[in-house]
């Protein structure tokens, strides 16, 4: 199949605990930059580099991701990582998605922090054979030529996106302190967090 006939699919991996507008803007910007047919959000099953802290159940993170992306016809959510047993490795995510989408080129979307850590990921040499990597700017994290050292230049693109200084950590802490997360995360996600008492202190009503 000629390259021009192939579909282009973005893959936005994340723990999404919870998903916030920083994730959604990154996916939307990269969709537009690369004229992607769709972006598949892939919530992690067991994020091994976050093993030092409690992570919400995969099903909650999956459902919040579905709620957050439901209105955008180009956004989809995949269960491949939450259904695979054991720690989540992007090499497995990309192998599974390439099998499911043989007619497509994959673009893996990351923020600057994740991009800078990519050489610590499992089988990182092989990752670039399975997808093009797109690193998005993120407030508080450098994304410059130094980040690219050791990465194959023809398989990595850095893009500047509107700066949103939002993190899932900050959202969780706000809920725990009883502070609002309205407008940091989509409305439906605020409601899901409240309904399922995610991130609330045990003793709060």
Ligand X SMILES: Nc1ncnc2c1ncn2[C@@H]1O[C@H](COP(=O)(O)OP(=O)(O)OP(=O)(O)O)[C@@H](O)[C@H]1O
Ligand Y SMILES: O=C(O)c1ccc[n+]([C@@H]2O[C@H](COP(=O)([O-])O)[C@@H](O)[C@H]2O)c1
Identify the residue among 50, 177, 197, 201 touching ligand Y (CB under 6 A): 50
- Angle ∠(114,116,122) on CA atoms, nearest 5: 70
CB 190, min distance to ligand Y, A: 20
Please say which residue, 13 or 18, places its beta carbon nearer to ligand Y. 13
CA distances from 69 to 35, 43, 90, 131 (A): 18, 12, 21, 22
Q: Is 138 in the site for ligand X (CB under 6 A)?
A: yes
Please say which residue, 50 or 201, places its beta carbon nearer to ligand Y. 50
Q: Residue 13: which residues within 8 A CB-CB, separation 6 or more?
A: 42, 44, 81, 90, 93, 108, 109, 110
Taking contact as CB under 6 A, which single stretch among the options 11-19, 30-38, 66-74, 182-190 is the one that binds ligand X?
Answer: 11-19
Cβ atoms 17, 55 nearer than 8 A? yes
Neighbouring-strand partners of residue 110: 135
Burial category of 175 from C-beta neighbours within 10 Å (exposed 0-12, middle 13-18, buried 19 and up): buried
CB 4, min distance to ligand X, A: 29
Q: Is 177 in the site for ligand Y (CB under 6 A)?
A: no
- Cα–chain-centroid distance for residue 158? 16
Taking contact as CB under 6 A, which single stretch among the options 9-17, 79-87, 94-102, 118-126 is the one that binds ligand X?
Answer: 9-17
As a whole number of angstroms, the distance between CA 156 and CA 160 comes to 13
Please say which residue, 129 or 160, places its beta carbon nearer to ligand X. 160
Q: Is 17 in the site for ligand X (CB under 6 A)?
A: yes
Pairing mode, if any, of strands 7-14 and 38-43? Answer: parallel
Q: Is 14 in the site for ligand Y (CB under 6 A)?
A: yes
Q: Is 166 in the site for ligand X (CB under 6 A)?
A: yes
Q: Is 15 in the site for ligand X (CB under 6 A)?
A: yes
Q: Is 13 in the site for ligand Y (CB under 6 A)?
A: yes
Q: Is 88 in the site for ligand X (CB under 6 A)?
A: no
Residues interacting with ligand Y, by CB under 6 A? 13-15, 44, 47, 49-50, 88-91, 114, 121-122
């Amino acid at each position: 199949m000629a390259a021009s006939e192939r579909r282009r699919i973005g893959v936005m991996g994340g723990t999404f605990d919870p998903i916030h507008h920083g994730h959604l803007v990154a996916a939307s910007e990269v969709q537009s930059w690369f004229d992607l047919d769709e972006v598949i959000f892939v919530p992690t099953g067991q994020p091994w580099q976050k093993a030092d802290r409690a992570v919400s159940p995969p099903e909650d993170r999956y459902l919040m991701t579905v709620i957050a992306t439901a209105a955008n016809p180009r956004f989809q959510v995949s269960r491949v990582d939450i259904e695979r047993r054991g720690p989540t490795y992007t090499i497995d995510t990309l192998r599974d998605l390439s099998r499911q989408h043989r007619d497509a080129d994959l673009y893996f979307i990351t923020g600057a922090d994740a991009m800078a850590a990519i050489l610590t990921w499992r089988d990182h040499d092989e990752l670039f054979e399975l997808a093009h990597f797109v690193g998005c700017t993120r407030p508080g994290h450098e994304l410059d030529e130094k980040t690219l050292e050791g990465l194959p230049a023809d398989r990595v693109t850095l893009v500047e996106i509107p700066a949103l200084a939002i993190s899932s950590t900050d959202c969780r802490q706000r809920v725990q302190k009883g502070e609002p997360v309205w407008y940091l995360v989509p409305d439906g996600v605020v409601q899901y967090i409240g309904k399922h008492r995610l991130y609330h202190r045990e003793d709060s009503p």
